[in-house]
Homo-oligomer: A and B are copies of this chain.
Amino acid sequence: MKNLSETKFALSYINKYGSLMAQGNGYLGLRASHEEDYPGQVRGMYLAGVYNRPAGSESAELVNLPDIAGMQIELDGQLFSLQMGKIVEYERHLALGSGLLTRRIIWRDPRGRLFELNFERVVGKTRGTLIGSRVSIKSLNQSVRAVITTGIDGQQTNFGTQQLMEEKLHVAAGDFMVGHYETIESDRKIVIAAKVAPGGVITAKNRQIKSQVTFDLQPGQAAILEKIVMVSSDLDLETTNLENVGADRRLSQQKDSDVLAILESTALAKLADRDFDWLKREVEKDWAKFWVTGRVELEPKASTVNTDQLALDFASYHLEIMTPKNDPRMSVGAKGLTGEGYKGHVFWDTEIFILPYFLHHSPETAKNMLLYRYHHLQDAKEKAQQYGYSGALFPWESAFSGREETPEFAAINIRTGKRQRIASALAEHHIVADIAYAVWGYFQATRDQIFMEKYGRELLRETAEFWLSRAVWQDGHYQILDVIGPDEYTEHIDNNAYTNYLAVFNVEQAIRFNQDATDFCQRGADFLANLYLPVAGSDGIIPQDDTFLTKPQIDLEKYKQTQGKQGILLDYSRAEVIDMQILKQADLVMLFYLLPHLFPADIVAQNLSFYEERTIHDSSLSKAIHAIVACRSGDVDTAYRFFQEACLIDLGTDPHSSDDGIHAASTGAIWLAAVFGFAGVDTTDVRLHFTPRLPETWQKMSFHFWWQNEKLQVELKQGMIKLSKGSTTELEIEINGKLLTLTDREIEERI
């Protein structure tokens, strides 16, 4: 498997690679910051679910934990930094296959002394696990004194916002540096224990505890330092069984100091006798296991330089490290655990873009995401009530508490000098239907009756109740007024096509699974019969909302060239953008993707083209979805172009595109584009459908796909599909509309 590699050290890319090469396990994320400090380098380590609402802020933030990756390296008193001297050789690799981050440097210092430096770093792949690093510094041509200082650095903040109180720093069990922390507002307890070998002189000051190790090196001799760390929080101690969350509060009975003491002794016990090599082997094994089924594998046409495989592996890798597997108190933030963008909040991205990958690889993990929503159903009902609605109005952004976490203000309006309010929490209500869609999708893929009975039907009904209360009777219809669709460059509009159609789908599914709730079903049927739904006009165009087609159009060429950067907001205020035919992403295209059979193919194609002309693709969610819809419309070339551009959202050359974390939803969307686009998977019917349309440069594509308790292996070539699942049960599927029955025999079909 190819590495994600950096072959040149460039300060301007330091935070992008810090995000791209991040390591983790779904519960802990560690940015790939360099051991040594650089101006502007943002260090970051995060635990899923560990948020804190800072003083004076209205929303919780994913807590940037004390740093354990930094190391000060002094060579005869001079600080090692690649900004100085001369870099003779430089390479850094994230081995996606094994999770290992390595860096190798040959460096000539300003005094002409030559060094070889090797760095390795690894993060355990299971929850509550260890972090290891090793540094080797070889002096190539001189005797030198190398002094390495590293420990636990509690000076980290979220861009100046302090989240943690330092309860205690001390040395335990002889040579373990230990830090006890508590989040200021949310009362989470965190313990970090770290040990270096060989051991050094330990000091503590200014929220740092550090060990300083001195090596006197002859030419050719290497200083080797290993560091092993454990990070844990009280969330690791509490039960993760949904039924018990909130009820079983063993820990809350205990004194803070006792909880911290338990965490410390657990950490020290786990660290005892462990070393870097042991951890590295464990992690390699765990990643190897993951990749057996976690991957979309391509065989590109000979003689083509193909980066698609790397993008797909990058996507799988990040989907895996961003997602907590079985703790319903946690879900996936917009940047995973790779950075502080969007404060680590959970958006609709999780259900619509990230959940499908797990639904078809690890349905239990997908279920966990839905349980996260169920866990906060009461909060959602309270939000609905607060605004005078019924049912459940899930927050646009959520964190640990389930409350609405959307910040009040966004950027500064360059014209007025004032900060602009974010309207999403007030109007971007489609998230309610998106969650319902995901509940339906989970059932569709798993037939998990127990889930539907215990959680799903209630989620469907409460979300549907919201829509029933949200619609108003006007001009002989129910109408859904004053919303924001997925396209956030259009605000406060009426009868948004995406929202209205998804609301219908939501209510339909709620009725389907709540037949015993007669009153609800009657009201639901009335809603379905009377909700106004935008339809195609004589020109074939479905209006995105009631007023969109009446707005002026402008030439977007300039802004499309810098897609993803929201450059239009430098020329126009948000209010002005809203009043023009300018889309961040296209609501209709999103709707076509989710409900592919709602409109005839020609209407889909026509609207795809009409809206694309008006879409800047400033949203990272836009292109991969366009790829899928274009592919389904038979335009594979356009689809492939969109796909490749989608792959560049994180992996492109823009040095700052991913500074504050990778685009979590985009990694899910890359996988969606491959599987739901080119492989032509359709999961909306009772049977699984394949309508494959491989890009011309892909000779072969294969992947694993969970479907209704079966683990399918899918292999596609130009003109051929091969399917197997290894179990004897019968499974009906359709290939290009042809019905086939799959058992434990491999099926090969010409297509």
Contact = CB atoms under 8 A, between A and B. Distances in A.
Interface of A: 11-12, 36-40, 54-57, 77-79, 81, 83-84, 153-157, 159-162, 165-172, 182, 184, 201-209, 411-412, 414, 417-419, 570
Most B Cβ at <10 Å: residue of A11, A78, A161, A202: A161
A411 B205 contact: yes
B39 A40 contact: no
Given A201-B414, A412-B171, A55 B159 contact: no
A55 B184 contact: yes
A411 B154 contact: no
Contacts of A182: 56
B207 A79 contact: no
A109 to B, nearest CB: 12
A77 B81 CA distance: 20
B162 A161 contact: yes
Nearest to A38: B39
A171 B415 CA distance: 9
Contact of A56 (B39, B160, B166): B166
A590 to B, nearest CB: 27
Contacts of A419: 168-170, 204
A162 B162 contact: yes
A155 B165 contact: no
Nearest to A66: B160
Contacts of A12: 77-79
Contacts of A40: 37, 79
A201 B415 CA distance: 11
Given A79-B11, A417-B171, A203 B412 contact: yes
Nearest to A570: B201
B170 A417 contact: yes
Contacts of A411: 203-205
B155 A56 contact: no
A86 to B, nearest CB: 9
5 contacts: A12-B78, A157-B162, A159-B206, A169-B419, A202-B417
Nearest to A416: B171
A165 B56 contact: yes
A516 to B, nearest CB: 51
A12 B162 CA distance: 27
Contacts of A36: 39
Contact of A202 (B78, B202, B206, B414): B414
Nearest to A83: B83
Contacts of A208: 159
A54 B207 contact: no
A709 to B, nearest CB: 46
Contacts of A37: 39-40
A492 B460 CA distance: 71
B412 A204 contact: yes
A497 to B, nearest CB: 33
Which 7 residue pairs spanning A and B have beta carbons closest together? A56-B165, A171-B417, A155-B160, A162-B162, A37-B39, A83-B83, A159-B206
Nearest to A415: B171
A409 to B, nearest CB: 9
Contacts of A156: 160
A160 B169 contact: no
A12 B77 CA distance: 9
A624 to B, nearest CB: 26
A57 to B, nearest CB: 8
Contacts of A209: 412
A54 B162 contact: yes
Contacts of A78: 11-12
Contacts of A153: 160
A419 B154 CA distance: 16
B170 A159 contact: no
Contact of A161 (B54, B77, B79, B207): B207
Contacts of A203: 411-412
A568 to B, nearest CB: 15
A418 to B, nearest CB: 6
A79 B157 contact: no
A282 B525 CA distance: 79
A381 to B, nearest CB: 31
A678 to B, nearest CB: 37
Given A184-B56, A201-B414, A417-B172, A160 B159 contact: no
Contact of A412 (B167, B202, B412): B202
A166 B418 CA distance: 14
A40 B36 CA distance: 10
Contacts of A201: 414, 570
A687 to B, nearest CB: 49
A385 to B, nearest CB: 30
A5 to B, nearest CB: 22
Given A55-B165, A162-B162, 7 more contacts: A12-B77, A39-B39, A54-B162, A55-B55, A55-B162, A156-B160, A160-B207
A36 B39 CA distance: 8
Nearest to A165: B56
A202 B170 CA distance: 45
B39 A81 contact: yes
Nearest to A11: B79
Contacts of A202: 412, 414, 417
